[in-house]
Chains A and B, each alone.
Chain A
Amino acid sequence: MFGLSIKNMRLSQLEVGETGIVKEFTDLEMSVKLMEMGCLPGEQITVSRIAPLGDPIAIHVSGYQLSLRRKEASTIILQ
């Protein structure tokens, strides 16, 4: 029932413990780096923690932990 509002959710909008699946990227250059680090379309991402000052965030993806800034996380669009 929240189908519409969940569409185009970005990784930066997830709270700690929430999970999403990567759909696509908004920034081509960043997407190459993210994919090299294992953030691929179809991959499941869980936000594992947020830095004490609110930025960056740490995510769990393809079996390991990755940290990235909110601005970078906002280029990842979730399904």
Chain B
Amino acid sequence: MMVPAVAPWVGLVHMLEIPFLRNALLAGTGIALACGFTGYFIVLRAQVFTADALSHVAFTGALAALAFGVDLRLGLYGACIGLAIIMAALGAVGRADDTVIGSVFAWVLGLGALFLSIYTTARSGAGGGTAGISVLFGSVLGISPADAWAAFGIGLGICAAMLAIARPLLFATLDEAVARARGVPVRALSYAFLILVGLTAAEATQAVGAFLLLGLLAAPGGAAQRLSGKPFVALGLTVVIAVGSVWAGLTLTYLAPKVLPSFGIIAVATSAYVLAFAVSVVRERRSRSGTGPQVSSGLKRGGMLMRRVPD
């Protein structure tokens, strides 16, 4: 049944005929689009740890909802957006350092452990043990068609919002002081951005799991920044790598059913990063040996802005 057909194209067509894989692809594409757009800025703004906290908090939110018998989505979105606002507020006081982030989210995770134990003791026998695990590691193959379309739609919405704020956000990220002087609402942007990351985390948790989401957020962004110093090229690359990871990972699951879909997706994303790393190291070595064009990677971060300054 799940054995791939002989010719690759026949296999791929067959894969698309399986309803749950089609749903997984649809939901996965939406999530990957959202993760790509937000992930690029997460890496650029050095907020990976914050994103990590947001994605782990989805776990607490989901289990709180389960423990108290509320709708799962309410818990997910409530927890993620709530923490996003807290993180943004902490950041506004004086750049939230990693100690504060760590302390806050370790405690929130501890609360998650509490809710898990309440849920499992209250509803023993109802498969309580597996509920926590599927929140953590996702169940993209079990997603319903309606949920898949919802995930796709929300993903597109997040993309549209990110595109709308992309330019000012980039400006505010690369040179906060100048951006503020030019009247860019730096603070409002950082709130909006973190809330969008929270939305992404909440939406993606249902498919790839609270834990593995970080791979889709960090790896494509990191890889793209290794490959290109031009912001919008790198942004595009990030999205392509994220979507490609989801597609390739799901194909991997189809070819080898023993491989968990979440593992397949993260493994592809991780290899993309390793590959990009290798490419950038080779490139740097070549440019240092003097044969290639002398592209200083110091330009990478401040690329656009620095080039404008005449020597």
A and B: partners?
no
Q: Contact residues of A with B, CB < 8 Å?
A: none
Q: Contact residues of B with A, CB < 8 Å?
A: none
